[in-house]
Chains A and B, each alone.
Chain A
Amino acid sequence: MSLSNLTRPWAAFSYGFLDPSAKREIRRKMIKAIAVPGCQIPYASREVPIARGWGTGGLQVTLTLIKPASVVKVIDQGADDSVNAASIRRFLSRVSGAGETWDTLAATIVQSRHRIPEERLRDDQVLVLQVPNPEPLRPVQPNMSIARQMHADADYGRLWLVLYEQMVRSGRIMQGAAYPALVNGRHVMTPSPIPRWDVPKLNMARHLTFLSAGREKRLYAVPPFTRVEPLVFSDVPYKVEDHTRLTCHRSGLTGVFMNEIPQAAGGSVFEASDSHLGIKAIRRAEGDAAEIGPLWYQNGEFRG
């Protein structure tokens, strides 16, 4: 007699790992988040089989959205092939039967950490951003109860104060990733640690974006065609990273966001951060018919 004789064979309790009541709760919070763009909505944040801080917030949103016809793309810092991205992608397809892809054009759900793909997202696609720290006010107000009151009052003076002090100290805005942005003219959100380069991609976008923090148990959304304005002084224009003159040393791509790779001999080379875009560019160069969709940026200029 063994354990397997005594129990029924293993089968998933619920479709898509999360049980229906958990999904219903998250779905309700997601609808709320869409209704109040940029406002952080608390949710229960269930246990999922990865550690807190490794994308549990994004994973729960994706698990709630996913269906057998979905095609998921998961990227980590722009790369589809990192261990974490690959594990999450495989887990998603295993528990849902959804398809996997590396190609932005083919995906219906893109779960991402730290980047938004360079190819323009469509209105039939959903972007899910993993957020480590959803509270833009945390650096200026450690007390979260007061921070919530400040959101309620639209009291964002201190965020501007941080920018003011960067200007005073350095003569320019030093905020790189997670640049705070005003959503729909009301709530300031942190767009997760995406580079400044990616923030304009959220403004009046055709796609829906969810941002979800599993450890902090908060999710928020940027619905399609919603204003997302980075906080800037009117006499100090918003600047994205200047990658216009850089060329990817592997694919030859230019005008996209680059990763800098230091060389042992000194100096550094650059490669496209959106790894699959690079792969497609290499394939095209080799004569394959890899389709590259329209890009957000052309010649280093944001086109939207």
Chain B
Amino acid sequence: MSVLDRLAPELITGAPLLVMQGIAKRYGPVVALEDVAATVWPGEVLGIVGESGSGKSTLLRMMNLEDTPDTGTYTLALPEVAGNLFDLDRFARRQLCARRIGIVYQNPHQGLLMGHSSSGNVAERLLVAGERRFATLRARAREALDVSEFPLNRMDDPPRLLSGGMQQRVQLAKAIALEPALLLLDEPTTGLDVSVQALVLDTLKRLQRDRAITMVIVSHDLGVIRTMADRVMVMRRGRVVEEGLVDQVFQDPQHPYTQELVHAKL
């Protein structure tokens, strides 16, 4: 049963931005996702928590249209697209991702050209979307890096010369350069020092507050989810075992797995 089926009649919040329904994916005999549904409303932060192999990253990749499920639908309430996004052709997908969806990967190598300049990495996003004025590219790359609290005196250094925290800020700048409708974060602070992690999370939090960007953040770290998310989905073995407001899931977890998870952490 999806959230919408259960709650639509009395819903006072407006229409959701993202709706995924009946998502299933198998790799041979391995079930990656089974009957997963997700709904994200404009301006909110949805956290997806679960251990590795729970299917949370696969789900995020599907939200970024990098992967397609065996069954299931995915819609985004945007004027330029309609219907199941998994049915879009390759070109339309690329356009949609480039213009409307930003993503920050756990591994910066996945999201950045490590040998090109940091500002160039951000500018590339704008170039792919068709911006052809050098002055504009420069100005917008600078602004996106600045908002991501990246030190501008290093904006033309390549990411391979930067620390892990800085690399994540470049990824973030790249992801928000086009003011995406949806920002996806895949373990954005995993692998960073704890102190750096706090700073990056703080930047994300600020961004969320100032720009009300809709975000989906995947993490195995409950602390990250609790800091960032409004609502949380708990995943295990390809299924959503529990879903709720962050404070409710952490204070009053219902599913045995979530209780275990929360108690192990606290």
**B113 within 8 Å of A by Cβ?**
yes
Which of chain A's residues 180-228 have a Cβ closer than 8 Å to chain B? none
What residues of chain B have their CB less than 8 Å away from a CB belonging to chain A?
Answer: 90-91, 94, 113, 116-117, 119-120, 123-125, 127-128, 132-138, 156
- Compute how far the CA of A161 lies from the CA of B122 in the bound complex, rounded to whole angstroms: 10
A235 CB–B CB distance under 8 Å: yes
Q: Is the interface of B mostly helix, strand, loop or mixed?
A: helix
User: 17 A-B contacts, Cβ less than 8 Å apart?
Assistant: A153-B94, A154-B91, A157-B124, A157-B127, A160-B127, A161-B113, A161-B116, A161-B127, A164-B127, A164-B137, A165-B116, A168-B156, A169-B156, A233-B133, A233-B134, A234-B133, A235-B135
Q: Is A158 an interface residue (CB 8 A)?
A: yes
Interface residues of A (CB under 8 A from B): 153-155, 157-158, 160-161, 164-165, 167-169, 233-236
A164 touches B120 (CB 8 A): yes
**B128 engages A155 (CB within 8 Å):** yes
Smallest Cβ distance from A6 to chain B, in angstroms?
62
Measured CB to CB, the closest approach of chain B to A135, in angstroms, equals: 18
Residue of B nearest to A236 (CB): B134
Q: Would you give the shortest CB distance from B115 to chain A, in whole angstroms?
A: 10
Say yes or no: B90 contacts A153, CB within 8 Å. Answer: yes
Question: Across the interface, do B133 and A160 meet the contact criterion of CB distance under 8 Å?
Answer: no
Chain A residues with Cβ below 8 Å from B138 are 164, 168
B188 → A minimal CB distance (Å): 23
CB within 8 Å for A168 and B117 given contacts A161-B123, A236-B134: yes
Most B Cβ at <10 Å: residue of A154, A157, A235 = A157
CA distance A155 to B127 in the complex (A): 10
* Closest A residue to B116 using CB positions: A161
Contact between B91 and A233, CB atoms less than 8 A apart? no
Nearest A residue to B130 via CB reads A157
B261 → A minimal CB distance (Å): 39
